[in-house]
């Protein structure tokens, strides 16, 4: 992949995250097919995909479809659907996968790699975490509200003693497309480190229906936030994942730096009556903690508060 050759990508989940990265890859000259549906699909077919960003606006013609069988095997699948759509999205993978296809998941949580491996096999799956602030503002229009566009990824199975050749090659290809990349040997560690932060951040802002500023500025709430961080870290270590010894202090420093108006995507989805990823962010910690004998009282309380809203306003 590092030879400069044009590659064929399929973006399964072409919303704010997958659509943004797909647009970057298409602008760099790669053949990109966007899997989408409804008004977003119609808009991309009619006028292409537009990106508005402080880094510069751009638009790309979009090869878009709702039928993966019409695409056939590709070099790389970016799997970026919301976790609650996996029941319908996972079966769409098979027509996109050939002998040499790599599937990179960018989903939240720590279950995605295993779920994808159950469909396409462990050998094809790479695990990734993405750090980006984008929104699907209208059909065919993605707005980037910050400058971060980073993907951290690596092997999810097999030999994780070093950064693999295929991870390194894909990383170079993405960097050439103006995507910030960090390649790692073991994806699991970085996925858990993101969840150690994201689970409490989504829990507290979502349950309180409040941006982070009011919560983090209150000493009592801040103490309980960090206690929730410790709960998730304890589950990770009980799972045998060697997360950084500095993960707690790194999260505290990051929280200190956040603008007071920062909202989690879970809070945004709740405010718009959309479905939320409560099972991938809070439910997974409660279930794994129970199985491992690790107490998760704070995360568990938030899970109970948020779970009734899992299906959105329509539920």
Rounded CA-CA distance 110/205 in Å is 21
Mean pLDDT of 23-32: 97
Single pTM value for the model: 0.91
Tell me the pLDDT band of 300, cut-offs 50, 70 and 90: very high
**Considering only the top CATH level, what class is 8-178?**
alpha beta
CATH 1.20.1530.20 fits 190-309, yes or no: no
Residues in the chain: 315
Rounded CA-CA distance 76/214 in Å is 42
CA angle 138, 144, 146 (to 5 degrees): 150
Rounded CA-CA distance 202/262 in Å is 11
Taking only the tens place, the pLDDT of each residue in 255-272 is: 999 889 998 989 989 999
CA angle 135, 141, 144 (to 5 degrees): 40
State the burial class of residue 264 (Cβ atoms within 10 Å of its Cβ: 0-12, 13-18, 19+): buried
Taking only the tens place, the pLDDT of each residue in 108-150 is: 999 999 999 999 999 999 999 999 888 899 999 999 987 889 9
Tell me the pLDDT band of 315, cut-offs 50, 70 and 90: low
CB 187 within 8 A of CB 128: yes
Domain range list for the chain: 8-178, 190-309
Residues sharing a CB contact under 8 Å with residue 218, sequence separation 6 or more, in sequence order: none
Residues sharing a CB contact under 8 Å with residue 253, sequence separation 6 or more, in sequence order: none
């Amino acid at each position: 992949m590092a030879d400069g050759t044009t590659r064929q990508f399929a973006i399964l989940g072409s919303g704010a995250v997958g659509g943004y990265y797909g647009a970057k890859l298409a602008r760099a000259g790669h053949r990109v097919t966007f899997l989408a549906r409804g008004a977003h699909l119609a808009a991309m077919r009619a006028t292409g995909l537009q990106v508005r960003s402080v880094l510069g606006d751009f638009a790309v013609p979009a090869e878009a479809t709702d039928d993966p069988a019409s695409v056939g095997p590709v070099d790389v699948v970016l799997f970026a659907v919301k976790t609650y759509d996996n029941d319908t999205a996972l079966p769409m993978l098979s027509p996109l996968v050939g002998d040499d296809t790599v599937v990179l998941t960018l989903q939240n949580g720590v279950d995605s790699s295993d779920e994808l491996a159950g469909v396409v096999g462990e050998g094809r799956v790479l695990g990734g975490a993405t750090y980006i602030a984008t929104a699907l503002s209208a059909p065919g229009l993605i707005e980037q509200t910050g400058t971060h566009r980073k993907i951290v990824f690596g092997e999810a199975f097999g030999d994780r003693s070093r950064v693999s050749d295929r991870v390194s090659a894909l990383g170079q290809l993405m960097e050439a497309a103006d995507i910030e990349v960090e390649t790692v040997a073991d994806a699991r560690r970085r996925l858990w480190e993101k969840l150690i932060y994201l689970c409490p951040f989504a829990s507290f802002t979502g349950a309180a229906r409040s941006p982070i500023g009011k919560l983090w500025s209150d000493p009592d709430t801040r103490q309980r936030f960090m206690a929730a961080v410790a709960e998730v870290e304890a589950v990770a270590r009980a799972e045998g994942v060697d997360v950084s010894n500095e993960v707690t202090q790194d999260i505290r420093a990051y929280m200190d730096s956040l603008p007071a108006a920062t909202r989690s995507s879970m809070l945004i989805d709740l405010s718009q009556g959309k479905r939320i990823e409560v099972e991938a962010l809070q439910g997974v910690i409660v279930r794994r903690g129970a199985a491992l004998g690790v107490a998760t009282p704070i995360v568990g309380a938030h899970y109970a508060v948020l779970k009734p809203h899992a299906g959105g306003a329509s539920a």
